[in-house]
Amino acid sequence: MNKTEILKYLLLILIAAAMFLPFFWLVSASLQKYEEIISIPLTWIPSIPQWSNYLEVLTNSNVKLGLYFKNSFIVSTMITVLVLLTSSLAGYALAKLTFPGRDFFFNFILSTMMFPTFIFLIPVYYILRKFPLLGGNNLFGQGGSGALTSYAGLVLPFMVSAWGIFLMRQFMMNIPDDFLDAARIDGAGEFRIFTVIIAPLVKPAFVTLAIFQFISNWNAFLWPLIVTTSAQYLMTLPVGLRMMVTAYSTSTVQNRLFAATVLGIIPTIIVFLALQRHYVKGITLSGIK
Amino acid sequence: MGLKSSRRRAMRRAVTGYLFLSPAIVFYLIFLIIPVGMSIYISFKKWNMLVPLSSSKFIGWKNYQDLFKDEMFLYALKNTLIWALGTVFLGMLIALGIALLILKVRRASLWRFLVFAPVVTPLVAVARIWQDGIYKTSGGMLNSILTLMHLPPQHWLANDQIALFSIMAVAIWAGVGSTVIIFTAGLKGIPEEYYQAAKIDGANAWHEFFHVTLPLLRPTILFLAVTGLIGAWQAFDLVFQMGAGGTQSGVSSLKSIILLNVYLYQTAFQNLRMGRATAGAFILFLIVLCFTFVVLKILRQGGVESYE
């Protein structure tokens, strides 16, 4: 081994430590007693693992972790399903159908990725409150609380994804037109072609997009924070954990907060570990034109 | 006859196209086009969202003028500029280093998972780890190391001079994984022949990097800079979690960590100044446009556009 090799391995070990140790500390802290958490220097290994931290956080009726999990799961799943549907439909139109204005729509959808959230956030909040026929509103959006008091408020503004449409279009562009023309000659309608031929062929894109959407919506913070300030029963996990932070961070039950945080990480890590290959592919795809 | 039927077919195909696109069109109409139009209108209004928009007062450019008289907004502009440039370009530099290191190492996928784990972790958890584990004033990891080296401990998140940089480090740590993966893909896309040709010409590793790798990575760098800056100008979660959102005792937070999106959030949803917040959003939009334009201009001129 020469000097550069040694340097290389030292750097690699440093990177590994910098990436791994913070997580290790969190898991360790979630199993510590309070005295160990506040000890100086830091405790790395709990003397006796306190599994009760987890038990408490799961069973304590003041901590609504179950509710946060349920909300996050429902919201992320609903958004994921809707995005898969809307992205594949739009992607098919943009990749395989010809109609006036197609390039305009494609460029428009791409350009929306550049819009800062706050340019439409305040009107969207207002529009959702005045949404017709939801939350007790009449046809003209009056009289009730609109979409903001139900899952609709968390799901509707995210049911279309510009990135999702882009991804689907890129995938479908690669499908040879001969396939579709053959089906057309046999008299198949476009919707039938879409469900029978296209959908099975772009399954990898569906998987990639689904993981992406699920993880990013599971972790979403700003919009759920705004919506659930007035509707606490809709709180998703990140917002709920944030509530726990403000309540717990200086108290003697800090260790429960760490236990709850570990539990909050688990779903995304599992999804990622199980489907890592597809996730990485999605990121790579977004990087090429 | 044939012309007529082919025209009819074209017509039918167009209708089908719009039909497939219709969910997206309706969505963008309700959640983007109408809202942006409303935002332009709101930015000239004094409106608190509690009264109907139509009955609020029209005040012209005053929201825009007030923004530039607001000390907090100017702080937020400065902070976000530092944040965006720092996290994006330093992040890219570190990511490129890591990507080069792990490119030819054994078990590259394991290394990629290691650097990628923070990317899929909710930022609320990332904030917890750094705030309570690494940056904690008494007994935190960093201060323990400083003490070992006989250096004075720091208030990483409570000192206005360094708090922004402390959180920038966290943002880089949490985001470097996806940049590494994109760089890895870019590096793998460089044809091996280029390196062989460079070797024949007697290039050392240094030459190879500056005359082969870097120029051929230009499209990747361009993509990362543009998308990174668009995201970084809108950063919110981390700074909000690590202090800018206020603490449990309601103490006001440090000036140095108020980023534009935090300022807009507070202006809109805590002070209920919808007009001023949307005006600020348009200024943010202009900045993002300018940055995108400048980056495209700098990185696109000359050099290799694509090597496919």
Tens-digit pLDDT profile for residues A107-147: 999 999 989 999 999 999 999 988 887 777 777 777 777 88
pTM across the whole model: 0.90
Per the model's pLDDT, the better-predicted residue between B185 and B88 turns out to be B88
Residues B21-36: tens digit of each pLDDT: 999 999 999 999 999 9
B227: chain A residues, CB-CB within 8 Å: 113
Strand ranges inside chain A, DSSP E: none
Sequence letter at residue A224? P
CATH class of A62-286: mainly alpha
Question: Cβ contact (<8 Å) for B277 and A26?
Answer: no
Token pair 């440090």 is at which residue?
B254
B268: chain A residues, CB-CB within 8 Å: 118, 121-122
Q: What is the mean pLDDT of chain B?
A: 88
pLDDT of B304 above 50:
no
Give the B window 262-281 contacts with A, CB below 8 Å. Answer: 264-265, 268-269, 274, 277-278, 280-281
For A175-189, what is the mean pLDDT?
A: 85
Per-residue pLDDT band for B266 (boundaries 50, 70, 90) equals very high
Length of chain A: 289
pLDDT of A287 above 90:
no
pLDDT of B95 above 60:
yes
Sequence letter at residue A11? L
- The DSSP result for A272-285, as a single string, is HHHTHHHHHHHHHH
Give SS3 for B57.
Answer: strand
Residues B145-165: tens digit of each pLDDT: 898 898 988 888 888 889 999
* Residue A51 pLDDT: 86
Residues 6+ apart with CB under 8 A from A31: A46, A49, A50, A51, A53, A255, A259
Question: Cβ contact (<8 Å) for B128 and A229?
Answer: no
Residues A235-259: tens digit of each pLDDT: 999 999 988 887 776 677 788 888 9
Taking each helix axis as running N to C, give the angle between helix B218-232 and helix B163-188, from 0 to 180 degrees, rounded to the nearest 10: 150
Question: Cβ contact (<8 Å) for B17 and A22?
Answer: no
Q: Which of B187, B186, B189, B184 is nearest to B116 (CA)?
A: B184
* Residue B307 pLDDT: 42
The end-to-end CA distance of chain A, in Å, is: 41
For A47-63, what is the mean pLDDT?
A: 83
Question: Cβ contact (<8 Å) for B132 and A99?
Answer: no
User: Mutate which of B41, B115, B121 to test chain A, going by most A C-beta atoms within 10 A?
Assistant: B121
Q: Which of A153, A123, A121 is nearest to A137 (CA)?
A: A153
DSSP label at residue B45: E
* Residue B22 pLDDT: 95
pLDDT of B124 above 60:
yes
Question: Cβ contact (<8 Å) for B230 and A114?
Answer: yes
Per the model's pLDDT, the better-predicted residue between A85 and A184 turns out to be A85
* Residue B252 pLDDT: 53
* Residue B160 pLDDT: 85
Question: Cβ contact (<8 Å) for A115 and B285?
Answer: yes
* Residue B80 pLDDT: 96
For B230-235, what is the mean pLDDT?
A: 94
User: Mutate which of B45, B124, B278 to test chain A, going by most A C-beta atoms within 10 A?
Assistant: B124
For A201-214, what is the mean pLDDT?
A: 88
What is the distance between the alpha carbons of residues B255 and A145, in angstroms, rounded to a whole number?
A: 36
For A75-93, what is the mean pLDDT?
A: 96
Per the model's pLDDT, the better-predicted residue between B3 and B130 turns out to be B130
Per-residue pLDDT band for A169 (boundaries 50, 70, 90) equals very high
Q: Which of B35, B134, B140 sits opposite A123 (nearest CB)?
A: B35
A218: chain B residues, CB-CB within 8 Å: 122
> Of the segments A159-163, B119-123, B300-304, which one has the largest average pLDDT value?
A159-163
